[in-house]
Amino acid sequence: MGAEWLREWCALDWHEPMNANLDRASRYQTSAAAEEDRRKGDDDNTYRTAQAQRLSSGCDEITAAPSPEAPRSADVAFLVLSARRVNSASGVAFESEQVQSVRRVVRQADGRWLVDEQVEAG
């Protein structure tokens, strides 16, 4: 579920509605995490800029691995998620970057695991 979440969260297309990537990813995450991601997502200004520049991103080399340092229980774990994101403008790639996030994942009452809020070390 972590890799599926990252795959949806990571891909952006200027043709899509604002924060469409967050909407797609939300099915794999808790409501608290979806709300937090939305607060960090595009606003009207950044969305207009992305559309004007025809910005899109695609991700590959997606990995999701348990954090070896973090505690784990029957209902909570921590995943280190990463991907290679290729950014393009008007269909021409101009940048490749590594995207990484450490996320708590929690087991729901129905047994499903969902991605929760981002965790920062410290």
User: Which DSSP string corresponds to 62-100?
Assistant: EEEEE-SSS---SSEEEEEEEEEEEEEETTEEEEEEEEE
Give the CATH number, domain containing residue 92. 3.10.450
**What pLDDT is attached to residue 103?**
96
Provide the mean pLDDT of the chain.
96
Residues in Cβ contact with 67 at an 8 Å cutoff, skipping those fewer than 6 apart: 77, 78, 79, 80, 102
pLDDT tens, residue by residue, 48-67:
999 999 999 999 999 999 99
Domain count, the chain: 1
Q: Which ranges of the chain have pLDDT less than 70?
A: 121-122
Q: Which domain holds residue 12?
A: 2-118
pLDDT for res 121: 63
Query: What pTM did the predictor assign?
Result: 0.91
